[in-house]
Amino acid sequence: MIKAVIFDIGNVLLGWDPKNLYRKVFNSEEEVDLFLKNICDAEWNISMDAGKPFAEGIREKQAQFPQYKDLIALYDTRWEEMLSGVFAEPARVLKDLKAKGMSVYALTNFSKEKFEVAYEKFEFFRLFDGIVVSAKEKLIKPNPAIFRLIAERYGLVPETTLFIDDNHKNIQTAKELGFQTILFQYPELLRPRLRLKGIDI
Q: Which residues contact 132 (CB under 8 A, 6 or more apart)?
A: 105, 106, 107, 108, 146, 149, 150, 153
What's the pLDDT band for 100 if we cut at 50, 70, 90?
A: very high
pLDDT in tens, 169-187: 999 999 999 999 999 999 9
Q: Provide, rounded to the nearest whole percent, the portion of the chain with pLDDT above 90.
A: 99
Tell me how far the alpha carbon of residue 75 is from its chain's centroid. 17
**Which of 78, 61, 57 lies closest to 69 in space, CA to CA?**
61
pLDDT in tens, 29-68: 999 999 999 999 999 999 999 999 999 999 999 999 999 9
Separation CA 52–CA 114 (nearest Å): 12
